[in-house]
Amino acid sequence: MLQPVANTEPPLLAALARRPVSRVPVWFMRQAGRSLPEYRTLKGVDSILTVLQDPSLAAEITLQPVTRYGVDAAILYSDIVAPLAYAGLEIDIVAGVGPTLEPPLRSRRDLGRLARFHVEALGPMAETVRLVTQSSPVPLIGFAGGPFTVASYLIEGRPSRDYVHTKRLMLSDPELFRDILARLTDIAIATITTQVRSGARAVQIFDSWVGALGTRAFVTHITPHLRRLAAAIDALGVPSIYFSVGTAHLLEQATSLGFSALGVDWRVDLSSLARRHGHHLAIQGNLDPATVLAPPDALIDEVRHVVASSRRAPGYIFNLGHGVLPESDPDVLSRIVEYVHEEGTALRSLCGDEQ
């Protein structure tokens, strides 16, 4: 017989702690934003960086998907380069392109530009977090960018496919590269500290592009910064999720950095990950966002497969493997939430019994 779970702890936090949940928690990366008509109405044509200066507007955007979908977490409406933009670095977020920096950061002299960051510049972000947590029925997840991913935008000057400038700098001047990443790690820690002190109850590190590196480069140049980041979040007393894309080759390393949970994309075999690492961290993911555009039967089949694959992980959070695509139908996302909460919860309970 199944034991009904009496736990009233928010499912997100219970799952992150690998404790029993009242239902399988679910949220979506980029749940706030582009795919929601109420967001497009509210935001108008302003740049996200302009919107972020208005805490009540940013808070409302953060809460829109919580209201609409009934997801188990709010995720702060912001951007991984926003802390630097708040502090006056020449960052823009260009529609249809992404973050740009002109001129890019490529020399030791450029390192001085990162010194402009000061935590007081995060005032509007702190206020947004306070407004959200005052009225949100679910925990708010704060976030920061992984140091490699943020560095890649700053060094390339724009989104990249090859990360040529970033890798060249890493290989040709490893000391400067280390100093840039150390500074970006400091900034990530300051950002997260501000968010947690303002009410965020969990933190996600978005390190989307770190999968551009092979294992050797990841271990040599990146993991020391990530360990420090994980320890700093731990010291704040909140759980942490480390998310990246295309990192099936880095799982052994990524699971031992000290984060509470690993967020993975659809390229990762969730079943194997759950079996091998589910006993020491929580797992989050990993439906291909393109699946949301598929017909209902194909979609539900994939959602079921993802949830079933998670069953060896005591702590599991359903999510997409990357951000919600702008073309996504919000009603389909609602259906996924409903399915995961009901059938998904039953499925994981049943599977758990079979172990």
Q: Which of 147, 131, 116 lies closest to 54 in space, CA to CA?
A: 131
Q: Which is nearer to a copy of itself, 72 or 288 (CB)?
A: 288
We find the least distance from the C-beta atom of residue 99 to a copy of itself, in angstroms, to be 15
**Residue 245 near residue 265, CB atoms below 8 Å:** yes
Tell me how many residues contact a copy of itself (CB under 8 A): 33
Choices 52-60, 159-167, 200-208, 310-318; region in contact with a copy of itself by CB under 8 A: 159-167
Closest CB 353 distance from a copy of itself, rounded Å: 25
Q: Which is nearer to a copy of itself, 113 or 249 (CB)?
A: 249
Does residue 291 bind a copy of itself (CB under 8 A)? yes
Distance between CA atoms of 206 and 197, rounded to whole angstroms? 20
Interface with a copy of itself (CB under 8 A), residue from 39, 143, 242, 266? 266
Cα distances from 285 to residues 122, 123, 205, in angstroms, run 29, 32, 14
| 33 counts as binding a copy of itself under rule CB under 8 A | no
Angle at 169 between CA 166 and CA 175, to 5 degrees: 125
Q: How far is the CB of 334 from a copy of itself (least distance, A)?
A: 19
Does residue number 163 form part of the binding site for a copy of itself (CB under 8 A)? yes
Peptide bond into 65 cis (omega under 30): no
Minimum distance, C-beta of residue 31 to a copy of itself, in the bound complex (Å) = 17
What minimum distance in Å lies between the beta carbon of 108 and a copy of itself?
16
Instruction: Please pick, from the candidates 327, 329, 342, 353, the single residue that binds a copy of itself as defined by CB under 8 A.
Output: 327
Binding of residue 255 to a copy of itself (CB under 8 A): no
Residue from the set 9, 54, 186, 269 that interacts with a copy of itself by CB under 8 A: 269
- Amino acid at position 174, single letter: P
**Interface segment toward a copy of itself; rule CB under 8 A; list 19-27, 88-96, 108-116, 160-168:** 160-168
Q: Is 180 exposed, middle or buried (0-12, 13-18, 19+ CB in 10 A)?
A: buried
Would you count residue 293 as binding a copy of itself (CB under 8 A)? yes
Among 60, 189, 288, 310, binds a copy of itself (CB under 8 A): 288
Residue with tokens 């206020």: 127
Q: Is residue 34 a contact residue for a copy of itself (CB under 8 A)?
A: no
25 touches 11 (CB < 8 A) = yes
- Closer residue to a copy of itself (CB): 195 or 291: 291
Distance, CA of 86 to CA of 328 (rounded, Å): 30
List the interface residues with a copy of itself, window 189-248 (CB under 8 A).
211, 213-217, 246, 248
Q: Is 350 in the site for a copy of itself (CB under 8 A)?
A: no
CB nearer a copy of itself, residue 116 or residue 168: 168
Per CB under 8 A, 164 contacts a copy of itself: yes
- Please select the residue that binds a copy of itself; options are 18, 23, 167, 225, rule is CB under 8 A: 167
Contacting residues toward a copy of itself, per CB under 8 A: 161-164, 167-168, 171-172, 211, 213-217, 246, 248-249, 266-269, 288-291, 293-295, 298-299, 305, 325, 327
